[in-house]
């Protein structure tokens, strides 16, 4: 199965139309229907599922607006051209010429156009702009949705495109209505690959014998609706051999990935990244001040430490949506203060989190990974009875 056969559906429209909320709602509905896909953020706004699942005050603290530059464009283009899954592509509301060029790598488009209460002509103008963009980039439109803050949800047509109105696309709300349901059905037909088919394809490419399909394993270990809970970490690790090379696959919290990687130490670990395929966490430079030569540090990378109550918090962040996995030397970490415990925090990809965890965990009594939705950090590695595996440390 060639990656080029996987569809890439652009979701575009002017700013403040509710695109991020629609993308979040669509991906949740598709996951519930077991339709395999991945959400690719083609705008450096730093938002993801967490922004709809977390308290708004925390969201405002974590959200980072990154630069739209050549490195970002090249990264997104590479992911679009070498797809490992069907994609939902979340794009910005004011595309630059470079960003618009990325649209041409997509196979279909959904337009979400918001009403402007104080500008009666805005909807028609914005619709024309985005229809012209789709035409210019030769992307067929499969849906055109009107977004209103208040009003009725309506389905106008399902053929040749899905057309209708969705009301109340506000962060933290559950999207529903006939137009939304029709859109989910259209995407499910387009993403016509069975979950088992794609899982078998990806697992067959794993670099080691012991591979973990985490969604399936969650069901085996009794996770309700396949959702992992921190207190399941001990049972998960008891289920597996220690110090054994391991390949990790599937959607799961970052603390599950970290616990597995540390359980395998000193053996190597691989994980499946929907953007990159199978990769191993790289070795990162650890320095006294966290800096290498300024020219060598990847654009937007930040790593700093601060004291907690009996532990050190290592904060990792980036103003760039995509970090270069092939340049780990540009992602330096500060050498943490030696303390009882270490908390890793940051909206970073799993391969980077695992790299930091594997390198730093041996120096601490316990290590935990922060998750905003839980309001604390989950202990994933411990030699301290006061901090058992699965304990949530308040931050």
Does the domain at residues 3-190 carry the CATH identifier 3.40.50.300?
Answer: yes
Three-class secondary structure of residue 153 per DSSP: coil
Collect all residues with Cβ–Cβ distance below 8 Å to 116 and sequence separation of at least 6.
122, 123
Q: What is the pTM of this model?
A: 0.75
- The whole-angstrom separation of Cα 150 and Cα 389 is 46
- What's residue 330's pLDDT? 94
Other Cβ atoms less than 10 A from the Cβ of 120: the count is: 9
Give 10-residue mean pLDDT values along the chain (395 residues). Answer: 73 93 95 91 58 40 51 82 91 82 92 91 95 95 95 95 94 88 97 89 94 93 84 95 96 96 97 93 84 69 91 90 86 87 94 96 96 94 96 93
Contact 253, 371 (CB under 8 A): yes
Domains of the chain by residue range: 3-190, 196-394
Task: Please give the pLDDT value at position 62.
Answer: 36
Res 64: pLDDT: 47
Strand partners, 341: 311, 366
Give, for 263, the enclosing helix (H) or strand (E).
helix 254-264
Angle made by CA atoms 263, 36, 210, in degrees to the nearest 5: 30
As given in the structure block, the two tokens for residue 355 are: 């790299």
Q: Which of 364, 367, 363 is nearest to 389 (CA)?
A: 367
Pairing of the two strands 8-12 and 108-114: parallel
C-alpha separations of 271 from 155, 263, 277, 335, 342 in Å: 41, 14, 8, 25, 23
Q: Measured between alpha carbons, how far is residue 346 from residues 46, 134, 139, 281, 369 in Å?
A: 12, 35, 35, 16, 9
Q: What whole-number distance in Å separates Cα of residue 326 and Cα of residue 348? A: 15
C-alpha count within 13 angstroms, C-beta hemisphere, residue 143: 27
């Amino acid at each position: 199965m060639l990656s080029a056969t996987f569809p890439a559906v652009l979701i575009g429209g002017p700013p403040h139309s509710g695109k991020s909320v629609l993308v979040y709602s669509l991906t949740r509905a598709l996951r519930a229907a077991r339709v395999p896909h991945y959400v690719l953020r083609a705008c450096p706004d730093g938002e993801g599922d967490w922004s709809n699942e977390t308290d708004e005050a925390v969201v405002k603290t974590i959200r980072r607006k990154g630069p739209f530059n050549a490195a970002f464009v090249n990264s997104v283009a590479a992911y679009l051209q070498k797809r490992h899954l069907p994609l939902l592509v979340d794009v910005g509301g004011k595309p630059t010429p470079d960003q618009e060029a990325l649209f041409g790598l997509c196979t279909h488009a959904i337009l979400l156009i918001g009403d402007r209460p104080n500008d009666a002509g805005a909807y028609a103008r914005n619709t024309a702009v985005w229809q012209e963009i789709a035409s210019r980039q030769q992307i067929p439109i499969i849906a055109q949705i009107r977004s209103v803050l208040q009003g009725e949800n309506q389905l106008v047509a399902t053929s040749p495109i899905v057309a209708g109105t969705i009301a109340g696309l506000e962060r933290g709300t559950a999207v529903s209505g006939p137009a939304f349901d029709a859109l989910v059905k259209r995407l499910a037909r387009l993403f016509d690959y069975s979950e088992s088919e794609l899982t078998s394809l990806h697992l067959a490419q794993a670099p080691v014998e012991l591979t973990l399909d985490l969604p399936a394993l969650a069901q085996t270990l009794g996770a309700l609706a396949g959702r992992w809970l921190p207190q399941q970490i001990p049972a998960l690790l008891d289920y597996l051999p220690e110090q054994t090379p391991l390949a990790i696959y599937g959607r799961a919290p970052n603390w599950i990935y970290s616990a597995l990687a540390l359980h395998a130490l000193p053996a190597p670990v691989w994980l499946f990244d929907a953007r990159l395929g199978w990769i191993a966490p790289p070795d990162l430079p650890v320095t006294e001040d966290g800096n290498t030569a300024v020219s060598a540090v990847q654009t937007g990378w930040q790593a700093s430490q601060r004291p907690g109550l009996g532990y050190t918090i290592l904060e990792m962040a980036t103003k760039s949506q995509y970090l270069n996995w092939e340049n780990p030397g540009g992602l330096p970490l500060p050498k943490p203060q030696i303390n009882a415990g270490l908390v890793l925090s940051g909206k970073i990809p799993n391969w980077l989190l695992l790299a930091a965890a594997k390198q730093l965990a041996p120096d601490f009594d316990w290590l935990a990974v922060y998750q905003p939705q839980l309001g604390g950090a989950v202990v994933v590695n411990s030699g301290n009875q006061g901090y058992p595996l699965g304990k949530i440390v308040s931050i």
